[in-house]
């Protein structure tokens, strides 16, 4: 009986992995088709604050590499909710009722916070930061950024903000799991805020604007996280 149960779980896991891979591959194919639009979308924060935008490819295969990279990024973002759902369907039967009450909000809020962080970086930080860089460069030199380097920089920035915005969710999870109490987190608040600024300095480019643009929202989210602790 136990052997059949193990086999059944293995088959179920395999089926869910296959479905997840299928959705990822489908999203990747769609991503290849819309890659030029994705490239225009990511370069918009720079081009909107630049009078005479001009970017270059320095490698003969850079155009193709960029398209594949954007397609992979699109596939990851689109398929991630489905992958999390498949994971949830697999582990949910083994969870207790109180564990489900913790897991469901986390599965919902994690993508929401990630997208919120990426959106904040895209709509707020990047225009300010690129405008500052262009102003510092001045008119004495012609800027011609490398497309591949720019997209890598921008995508890394979006991901950094997306993952950084998961920080309050981690605190709430640790609290709800009984690992740390609300009082313990509050008592260490000043150290956590210092840690937020250090983390922001690591995740963002080496300029003060980016640092504060990430740190201040995280401090605000840290304060809001107390509303969801017990």
Which of 23-27, 35-39, 97-101, 152-156 has the lowest average pLDDT? 97-101
Structure confidence by residue, pLDDT tens digits, 203-222? 776 777 778 887 888 899 88
Strand partners, 146: 56
Closest CA to 17 of 25, 27, 5: 25
Note whether 177 and 102 are within 8 A (CB): yes
Please say whether the beta carbons of 190 and 197 come within 8 A.
no
pLDDT band at 3 (very low <50, low <70, confident <90, very high): very low
Cα angle 26-121-225, degrees, rounded to a multiple of 5: 95
pLDDT recorded at residue 28: 95
pTM: 0.82
Compute the distance between CA of residue 123 and CA of residue 121 in angstroms, rounded to an integer: 6
Q: What is the pLDDT of residues 109-119, one digit of tens each?
A: 888 888 898 89
């Amino acid at each position: 009986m136990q052997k059949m149960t193990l086999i059944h779980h293995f088959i179920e896991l395999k089926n869910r992995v296959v479905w997840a891979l299928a959705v990822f591959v489908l999203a990747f194919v769609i991503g290849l088709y819309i890659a030029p639009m994705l490239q225009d979308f990511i370069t918009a924060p720079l081009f909107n604050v630049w009078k005479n935008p001009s970017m270059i490819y320095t490698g003969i295969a850079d155009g193709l590499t960029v398209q594949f990279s954007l397609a992979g990024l699109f596939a990851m973002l689109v398929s991630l909710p489905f992958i999390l759902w498949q994971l949830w369907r697999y582990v949910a039967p083994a969870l207790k009722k109180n564990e489900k009450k913790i897991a469901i909000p986390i599965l919902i809020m994690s993508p929401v916070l990630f997208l919120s962080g990426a959106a904040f970086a895209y709509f707020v930080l990047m225009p300010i930061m690129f405008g500052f860089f262009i102003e510092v460069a001045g008119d004495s030199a012609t800027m011609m950024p490398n497309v591949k380097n720019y997209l890598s920089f921008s995508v890394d920035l979006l991901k950094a903000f997306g993952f950084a915005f998961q920080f309050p969710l981690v605190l709430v999870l640790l609290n709800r799991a009984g690992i740390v109490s609300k009082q313990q987190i509050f008592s260490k608040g000043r150290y956590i805020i210092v840690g937020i600024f250090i983390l922001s300095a690591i995740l963002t480019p080496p300029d003060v604007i980016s640092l504060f643009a990430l740190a201040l929202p995280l401090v605000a989210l840290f304060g809001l996280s107390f509303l969801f602790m017990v």
